[in-house]
Structure 1
């Protein structure tokens, strides 16, 4: 799972690579046409429009290829990493905590603690699920990276070290994606 910082860098590098490719192909067309193209402040002609069109096509195609290659959210890619994807900690909702099975009232998902340390999750199955069996991710992982987990699991825990920050239910995740 990639963190927000890694996705921002991947988006920046992919955007810059697409920009450089677009500029290089535009320069190649400019040279092939004898340097007659003008598209800008001093004038405009057909060769200049052709150079601009080549830039747009190559840049767009390179962005499309880059988005598939690095799997970065579209907004992060198009802003060259300036707009970061949502971290998992922002989607996580705190879980209620119980110290014993007798305190569990049977409503919702709760975190079972023993001696102040989380040991399992109640409310997902008919029995206690040990913490190791529930998928968990670090708080700084990008939420867009969690999609494969939610295809198999109804809930993902968000942790920071040994501390459980909260949980993301499948419905909340898909609502965040707009699905």
Structure 2
């Protein structure tokens, strides 16, 4: 699982690679066409239009390939890493803490705590699920990286070290990603 910082850096490198390759192709066309291309506010000609079109096509194609290769969200790629995806800690909602099984009322998901330390999750199955069996990520992991976890789990726990910050339910994840109402 990649962090927001790693995705922003990947988006920056992919964008810069697309920009450089687009400029190189445009320069190659400029040299190939005799160096007379003009594409600007004051004047333009056919060679300049071909150079500009070559840049746009190369830039777009390399961005497309980079998106497939580095798997970054479109906004991160198109802004050269300035806008990154949200971290998991931002989407996580706190879970109610239960000190013992007798305090659990059977409504919703709750975190079972013994001696101040979380030990399991109640409400996901017919029994207590130990924390090790529930999918969990660090708080700095990008939300866009959680999709494979939600294919198998209805809930993902978000940690900061040993502390449970909260949980992200499947419905909230899909709503955040734009797949739900």
**1:40 CA drift (Å):** 1.8
- The alignment yields a C-alpha RMSD, in angstroms, of 0.6
For 1:149, the equivalent position in structure 2 comes to: 149
* SS of alignment partner, residue 140 of structure 1: coil
Aligned equivalent of 1:88: 88
Q: Superposition pairs for residues 86-165 of structure 1, below 5 Å?
A: 86-165=86-165
Cα deviation for residue 105 of structure 1 reads: 0.2
Residue 41 of structure 1: CA displacement?
Answer: 4.4
Match of 2:34 in 1: 34
Q: Which runs of 5+ in 2 are unaligned?
A: none
Where in structure 2 are the equivalents of 1:2-21 lying within 5 Å? Answer: 2-21=2-21
SS of 1:175's partner is helix
Cα distance in 2, alignment partners of residues 144 and 84 from structure 1: 10
Give the gaps of 5 or more residues in structure 1: none
Cα deviation for residue 43 of structure 1 reads: 2.1
- Aligned residue for 1:44, secondary structure, equals coil
Q: What TM-score comes out, normalization by structure 1 length?
A: 0.99
For each residue in 1:85-134, what CA deviation from the matched residue of structure 2 results, as whole angstroms up to 9, or x when unmatched?
11001110000001000000000000000000000000000000000000
For 1:42 and 1:6, the matched residues in 2 are separated by 42
TM-score, normalised to structure 2's length? Answer: 0.98
Find the residue that maps to 1:111 and give its secondary structure.
strand
Q: C-alpha separation between the residues in 1 aligned to 2:39 and 2:163? A: 58
Q: Supply the distance in 2 between the matched residues of 1:113 and 1:153 (Cα, whole angstroms).
A: 21
Q: Distance in 2 between matches of 1:134 and 1:8?
A: 28
Give the Cα–Cα distance (whole angstroms) in 2 for the partners of residues 133 and 33 of structure 1.
63
- Which residue of structure 1 lines up, in the alignment, with residue 46 of structure 2? 46
The list of structure 1 runs, each at least 4 consecutive aligned residues, that deviate by more than 3 angstroms after superposition, is none
| 1:73 equivalent in alignment to 2:108 | no
Counterparts of 2:36 and 2:22, CA distance in 1: 19
Q: CA deviation at 1:84?
A: 1.0
SS in 1 for 2:146: helix
